[in-house]
Amino acid sequence: MAFDPATLTFNEAGLIPAVAQDHATGEVLMLAWMTAEAVRRTLETRRATYWSRSRQAFWTKGETSGHVQELVEMRIDCDRDALLLTVRQTGPACHTGARSCFFTKVEAGEEVVEA
């Protein structure tokens, strides 16, 4: 069956959350947002392309930093309202320079930042 991004369930802003996960390690790298066009571009180019809510523009991960995400696989959740992208990550995924955007954990009611 051919895939049509329009069959996904987007929020009122026309966006769907996309979790990027490292293909080799399973580590969750980041969460970003996609439009139907971003999904189409990602599948076509095999490079993760997201929608920047702040800039109101498409951005391909790594286009300026070189820290690209090469798409290995895209999965759709059971409600069709979230995506999981397994990727080959080059360099850090987070704009802060961290490997993953999820470097702060909550432990015993306190935030702990892991390097």
pLDDT 10s digits, 22-64: 999 999 999 999 999 999 999 999 999 999 999 999 999 999 9
Multiple choice CATH, 13-113, 3.90.245.10, 3.10.20.810, 3.40.1350.10, 3.40.190.290: 3.10.20.810
Which residues neighbour 13 within 8 Å (Cβ) at sequence distance 6 or greater?
53
4 is in an annotated binding site: no
Closest C-alpha among 106, 86, 102 to residue 94: 102
Q: Does 81 count as an annotated binding residue?
A: yes
**Whole-angstrom distance, CA of residue 50 vs CA of residue 58:** 6
Those residues whose C-beta lies under 8 Å from the C-beta of residue 47, and which sit 6 or more positions away, are 60, 61, 62, 68, 69, 70, 71
On whether 101 is known to bind a ligand per the annotation, the reply is: yes
Taking the domains of the chain in order of start, what are their residue ranges? 13-113
| pLDDT score at 1 | 84
pTM of the model: 0.93
22 annotated as a binding-site residue: no
Establish whether 67 is an annotated binding residue: no
In the chain, the amino acid numbered 102 is F
94 annotated binding-site participant: yes
The dihedral sign for the CA sequence 101, 106, 112, 115: negative
How far from each other are the two terminal CA atoms of the chain, in whole angstroms?
A: 44
